[in-house]
Amino acid sequence: MNIYTYIMRRLLYVIPVLLGVCAIVFVLFNLVSPDPTLIMLGKHASVKQMAELRAELGLDRPMLEQYFDIVKSAFTFDFGRSWTTKQEISEMIKAGAIPSLTVTLPAFVFSTILSIAISLLVAFYRGKAIDKVVVFACVALMSISSLAYILFGQYVFAFKLGLFEISGYDAGFPYFIPYVLLPILIIVIISVGPDVRFYRTVVLDEVYQDYVRTARAKGLGEKKILFKHVLKNALIPIITFVVIRIPFLILGALLIESFFSIPGLGGITLNAINSSDFPVIRAMTVLSAVAYIIFTVITDVLYTLVDPRVRLS
């Protein structure tokens, strides 16, 4: 099948998936969650006050109309206004996307490259002391709460040693760089443990395949086998793991952005949760779903580029 035809077919499949996602979001925010007017006005609010607020927020409209508003927002990215700030949510997302990406994107790239490099190293020395030390270190890193890394980094490296900025953000390149260095470092440290364990498992699964034993029998060296054959055949699970994580970079890092006062989407989402700003939470949920679906299609297409045996159908 032609790759463009396949992409068009997959994009058409996105429509019913999005309708289903919008239905789930609608149920969660309109039928399951508590009455937002009660949350915003407090338990002592009168029935009249609640009715007036419901009318102001548009919650008194027919359910079907409210559902189609969510569907419309998924395709047009017009999410309405925030209940607390009264700003256009689409403008809030545009403003918060760049600060989030200045933190999450470099951290993602560095952690991915570092994790794959370490995984190949321990696969080359599998079963030896370095392999056992790295596995132990990964488990140890994973066992520590991300909050502990944040507080330790801010107190020791920023406050005591003065190597980084404690918090804040200055828009524009290169002014934001001093403020994002420590958050990036913390995200890399948090990510390396689980990433190395995953990539190591994927690489070792290929190392014990029959084609590797055949390559050894033909006299190929371990390094050539590892980098030319094993890594190439391990790319499909690696691509899946890497590409599917990209949509979540857009949403930012909730704890990191909150503790470091970075005005990104993570901080916007966390503030929306704390203030029960349902339109913003709903917008971030729909946005993440759309991004996840799109990058799933991209992942399938990339499979054919790294493995000719994969056929689009």
**Which domains does the chain show, CATH number per domain?**
12-76 (no CATH), 104-275 (1.10.3720)
Omega cis (within 30) before 178: no
CA 229 to chain centre: 30
Amino acid identity, position 73: S
CA trace torsion 293, 295, 299, 301 (10° rounding): 90
Nearest of 244, 199, 191 to residue 226 by alpha carbon: 199
pTM: 0.83
**DSSP-assigned letter for residue 234:** T
Q: Is residue 114 scored above 90 in pLDDT? A: yes
> What pLDDT shows up at residue 195?
92
> What pLDDT shows up at residue 243?
85
What are the tens digits of pLDDT across the range 78-89? 888 888 888 899
What are the tens digits of pLDDT across the range 26-50? 888 777 777 777 777 777 777 788 8
- Secondary structure of 148-209 in HEC code, one letter for each residue: HHHHHHHHHHHHHCCCCCCCCCCCCCCCCHHHHHHHHHHHHHHHHHHHHHHHHHHHHHHHCC
Binning pLDDT at 50, 70 and 90, where does residue 157 land?
very high
> What pLDDT shows up at residue 133?
93
Q: Is residue 303 scored above 70 in pLDDT? A: yes
> What pLDDT shows up at residue 140?
92
Amino acid identity, position 199: Y
> What pLDDT shows up at residue 312?
60
Q: Is residue 309 scored above 70 in pLDDT? A: no
Phi-psi region of 77 (alpha: psi -120 to 50; beta: other; left: phi over 0): left
CA trace torsion 142, 144, 147, 151 (10° rounding): -130
What are the tens digits of pLDDT across the range 161-186? 999 998 889 888 888 999 999 999 99
Mean pLDDT of the chain: 85
Q: Which helix (H) or strand (E) holds 12?
A: helix 3-26
Region 146-160: mean pLDDT is 92
Q: What is the distance between the alpha carbons of residues 170 and 205, in angstroms, rounded to a whole number?
A: 45
Structure tokens at 145: 């709460």
